[in-house]
Structure 1
């Protein structure tokens, strides 16, 4: 059983005294006339009675997203190919460079890439505006709405996609679905709400592992959806898998409504459309948050530095993930679909090995040292990838990745422990937006760097990724040493 932080629970007599709306607003320090962002430490006295809370929400939503993304890309390819009259293969034989590229194939590839970019950017910019105030709003309105509303938006997106497929409407209508999903917060809002919920119902000792379990749900759902989606599309086309996308989003929203217990007390008159929610995020990162009592500038600096570490690590993860298949398809590896599948399975298996490794290392190491171990294995693996010219060496790199997913849950947990309990929603909303930005920066940077450096070293991009990871490695190690020194000084003085 996971209990909320007892220091964050109001005494019972205070809760009784705050029975009316106005009194409760006063207790929260967030009444109608308040100018400051929310800084309450109030937390619901009810704890989740089960070790499983928002994990099914995360798993179902990620399953839906992973099932949908490659299917929509393939549908775009097929529709654009049909419109242009292109009937060629979507793949080329490895090493068959003597065959000239079909101009129609190049046009299909370009248009498909452009539409993928339009859909990604359209959703990203809307989400960037919506998620910060949804996350901060969840600090006073409860976490459940932020788990339910985005799932309903994703379900609406699936409905739009199905209508386009049934009626064979122009693919531009896909943008309508992306905008509807973006206005509801999209998957980014669910990420923010889920991690904030886990921060609500866990203590500092269990939080890192609980966050790691959530991230493991992302990996397992992605692996399962990848296996099912490709085979199902080959057997039955696009429409039936998209019905599963719709059903999965609705099931996730229903589970959140029926089984997820609220982790924060709701303010009855909490407004959604107000600039206070943006101010709460700004207040958090400009002052260090309400928990910054004696830490001063060092506390705020730690908040920014850990956020920078998260940005760099996740950017490398997103960016390098796109390159593995490109690297394996071409010479000298020339892998076929079976070996590529085994490589992808090995990478997804790291979700479980990282979770197991984190659980074991918690017995003898603190969070920061575990993050450094995870980053070290990732750096070594990337160096091996950069020089891999045989199948054995490539799989050696995959084997060295067995702990590479430890760093991100540790950083999320570190950030969560730096802010007040009432600011978890604002924090994870900002972190979720950073994660979305990582996807754009990582894919753009690494996919541009890879072809530009092929002429002198095919694996140079992996070396760049390894060098980038040295920055968070140094930051986390330095902050841990400074914290140890401060703790030793405090113990000596006492």
Structure 2
């Protein structure tokens, strides 16, 4: 008797696979009638190796390279601008004496570094904002693997441009060229879209929140390792050798996706990338609420918009404030060196693991919405401490208080995924990727502009502002959960 082909079983297919087959076929028919892209059940691609692996290693490797690059590029900008202006802050007394007014030259270095971070981010994410939705929806018909491979090659090209700038000591404006090239290939947001859509393809609603949280934990673990390695390596050998690792990691991630990732949708060889069909799928999703909204009406569509707004605010705060941590720690009164900056970034990324563990424990006694609220409270308290941190001990206290700050985003991704039909997951995560690109664009613009503008009256005001913004999604999530509970209570009484 022949043994079953267990290699063809993807993780998550064992739960609820048979119960969703009819729903998938029906929803695909409805999507075809509407002229929208469809996503079907998982089949192996003929060019993949038949082993049961998922996308976690791709996301891990890509995030490792991105974290290492982000950590080093901000410090490189600081050093290059300091060298051009003749500033050497490491030998000044105000780094150890907070009562001494900072050197005006230091403020100029801070301002220019923040502005260049802003210009580079604006260039890359403005291009990605147009490209990522196209790639995400295209993956519904062409497959997830091509998007993952293309985006990783784009990040590798960016690292190569950065290396040329460092070798030849070209003006830092050429960093913008590398960022634009990466944006044209989808940037890291295309990798996020492909990975989360892949997990939605192979998981059921019951396990989806935790599967999404596992992916986000991969982001944290890789970021933590990159922070520790990058800080020590940069201090020992400078910037060039670590950036060779950034390049190699992106190429390794693309190679892994090509060799080992099994397709989760039926790839259509005739699928075109440049067509308005992909944007129509996104418009249909948010204008009508999707195929599955027939019984939900405006309420269903309203939830989709409100949870998307919550996601935008939370991720916007995370992405915008993340760029300022290194800048805040480099300047007085903290004046951290590269090793301490690495440890601080590692402490921040460790919260991905603690958030995953906390989410798993809290799900036993709390609904997902309350888990998200606990995560937001953890984030808000940590940001308030950062706003007043003038010592190393206080800064690490803030990192400790943020130990659950990533518990909210997997809940929001999962809630959005559960609101749409299984055949609309690609379109949904394309729109989420579009929102995420906009988060980076707006977050980087607001926080990099606000930080130098508020240095003269409160150095940590930007972190306090971020804490205030997070109160808005906390209120929306709590209100929606209370509304759902009251409606369920009325329905149970009437029945």
| More divergent stretch after superposition (159-168 vs 293-302) | 159-168
Aligned to 2:12: 2
How far did 1:80 drift?
Answer: 5.8
1:43 paired to 2:45: no
Distance of aligned partners of 1:493 and 1:266 in 2 relative to their CA distance in 1, 3 Å threshold: farther
Asked if structure 2 preserves the Cα contact closer than 8 Å seen for 1:309 and 1:475, the reply is yes
Aligned residues: 475
Aligned to 2:240: 239
1:210 paired to 2:206: no
Asked if structure 1 preserves the Cα contact closer than 8 Å seen for 2:141 and 2:271, the reply is yes
Asked if structure 1 preserves the Cα contact closer than 8 Å seen for 2:209 and 2:410, the reply is yes
Q: Which runs of 5+ in 1 are unaligned?
A: 16-25
Aligned to 1:179: 180
Q: 5 Å matches for 1:84-233?
A: 84=84, 86-91=85-90, 92=92, 93-94=94-95, 95=98, 97=100, 101-102=104-105, 112-167=113-168, 169-233=170-234
Rounded Cα–Cα distance in structure 2 between residues aligned with 1:339 and 1:172 = 28
1:419 paired to 2:420: yes
How far did 1:366 drift?
Answer: 1.8
TM-score (norm 2): 0.84
Rounded Cα–Cα distance in structure 1 between residues aligned with 2:362 and 2:180 = 43
Rounded Cα–Cα distance in structure 1 between residues aligned with 2:457 and 2:118 = 29
Rounded Cα–Cα distance in structure 2 between residues aligned with 1:296 and 1:11 = 19
Rounded Cα–Cα distance in structure 1 between residues aligned with 2:123 and 2:64 = 22
Distance of aligned partners of 1:379 and 1:144 in 2 relative to their CA distance in 1, 3 Å threshold: same
How far did 1:343 drift?
Answer: 4.2
Rounded Cα–Cα distance in structure 2 between residues aligned with 1:99 and 1:464 = 23
Q: Which runs of 5+ in 2 are unaligned?
A: 1-10
Distance of aligned partners of 1:73 and 1:100 in 2 relative to their CA distance in 1, 3 Å threshold: closer
| More divergent stretch after superposition (92-101 vs 273-282) | 92-101
Distance of aligned partners of 1:79 and 1:409 in 2 relative to their CA distance in 1, 3 Å threshold: same
Rounded Cα–Cα distance in structure 1 between residues aligned with 2:456 and 2:108 = 25
| More divergent stretch after superposition (119-128 vs 294-303) | 119-128
Aligned to 2:7: none
TM-score (norm 1): 0.84
- What CA RMSD, in Å, does the superposition of the two structures yield over aligned residues? 3.5
Asked if structure 1 preserves the Cα contact closer than 8 Å seen for 2:42 and 2:202, the reply is no
Aligned to 1:267: 268
Q: 5 Å matches for 1:396-435?
A: 396-435=397-436
Distance of aligned partners of 1:351 and 1:50 in 2 relative to their CA distance in 1, 3 Å threshold: farther
1:111-148 CA deviation, whole Å, 9 max, x = no partner? 55554433322211211111111111111111111111
Distance of aligned partners of 1:36 and 1:164 in 2 relative to their CA distance in 1, 3 Å threshold: same
How far did 1:162 drift?
Answer: 3.2
Aligned to 1:20: none
Rounded Cα–Cα distance in structure 2 between residues aligned with 1:436 and 1:462 = 21
